[in-house]
């Protein structure tokens, strides 16, 4: 399973950088919603901060950072007092990693807006389950991000129409399994799990055939947009689909 690797977290006040560049006028921060932007790309942090400063009165970007530490270790600095965290792309690809970051931010007292960039439905659902209130595609007009920030700060959910449509279209998706595959996963991941060799002996097939069936089941879930790279995530999804008790 891939994991997010965070380096030392350093907050930088992106607003002052924009002012120093001369690209936006120097103004006093507007009291209102305080925002922290998290994304490994400085360009996104700077451009979104600049857009919000010019076009979104009442929203103040306190800082930007390229990473967020897990485990409840909240860094100091201006960003730690933000009301809303806008989370862009993360290092690592597992949906659980996104959920971990969302959970950590929520525990620090921030509402979370996720900028989804080709995230599978499972990753988005995982972020919502962890407490994210708003999801907006990275490619959407920044006005949607501003609306999402305002909604999240008020404790309301905001889903961009494209995200909403994707979640609706996958809400009732269930990967179908053959009779043999159902029996095989019951033996392999059921209440009394068995190893691949035991499953093979029980079904009267080769151990390689058992492994091939499991590989195909994983492939089918992957094609449906679900991440089942390890036994726990596969077991979880099989339960959700009703194939395991």
The answer to whether 196 and 211 are in contact (CB under 8 A) is yes
* pLDDT given for residue 76 in this prediction: 62
Our CA angle for 99, 4, 227, nearest 5°, is 55
User: In which element (H, E) is residue 87 found?
Assistant: strand 84-87
Q: Give CA–CA dist 213/201, Å, rounded.
A: 15
The answer to whether 48 and 38 are in contact (CB under 8 A) is no
* pLDDT given for residue 8 in this prediction: 38
The answer to whether 96 and 201 are in contact (CB under 8 A) is no
State the span(s) of the chain assigned CATH 1.10.10: 179-240
pLDDT digits (tens, 9 = 90+) for 163-218: 888 777 665 567 888 888 989 999 999 888 999 999 999 999 999 999 999 999 99
Q: What is the CATH number of domain 14-170?
A: 3.40.50.2300
Count of Cβ atoms closer than 10 Å to residue 106 Cβ? 16
Q: Is the pLDDT at 100 greater than 60, yes or no?
A: yes
State the span(s) of the chain assigned CATH 3.40.50.2300: 14-170
Q: Which fold has domain 179-240?
A: Arc Repressor Mutant, subunit A (1.10.10)
* pLDDT given for residue 166 in this prediction: 78
Confidence label for 236 from pLDDT (cuts 50, 70 and 90): confident
Strand bridging mode 84-87 / 134-137: unpaired
* pLDDT given for residue 238 in this prediction: 87
Confidence label for 97 from pLDDT (cuts 50, 70 and 90): low
């Amino acid at each position: 399973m891939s994991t997010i690797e965070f380096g030392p977290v350093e907050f930088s006040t992106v607003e002052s950088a924009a002012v120093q560049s001369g690209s936006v006028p120097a103004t006093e921060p507007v009291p209102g919603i305080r925002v922290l932007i998290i994304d490994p790309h400085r360009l996104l942090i700077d451009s979104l901060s600049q857009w919000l400063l010019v076009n979104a009165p009442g929203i103040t970007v306190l800082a930007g950072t390229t990473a967020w530490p897990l485990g409840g270790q909240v860094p100091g600095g201006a960003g730690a007092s933000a009301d809303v965290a806008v989370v862009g792309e993360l290092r690592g690809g597992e949906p659980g990693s996104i959920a971990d970051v969302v959970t950590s931010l929520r525990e620090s007292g921030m509402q979370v807006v996720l900028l989804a960039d080709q995230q599978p439905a499972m990753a988005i659902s995982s972020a919502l389950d962890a407490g994210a209130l708003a999801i907006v595609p990275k490619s959407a007009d920044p006005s949607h991000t501003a609306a999402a920030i305002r909604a999240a700060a008020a404790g309301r959910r905001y889903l961009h129409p494209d995200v909403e449509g994707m979640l609706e279209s996958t809400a009732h998706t269930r990967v179908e399994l053959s009779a043999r595959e159902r029996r095989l996963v019951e033996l392999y991941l059921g209440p009394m799990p068995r190893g691949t060799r035991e499953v093979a002996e029980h079904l009267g097939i080769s151990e390689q055939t058992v492994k091939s069936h499991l590989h195909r089941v994983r492939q089918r879930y992957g094609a449906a947009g679900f991440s089942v790279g390890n036994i726990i995530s596969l077991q979880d999804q099989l339960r959700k689909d009703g194939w395991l008790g």
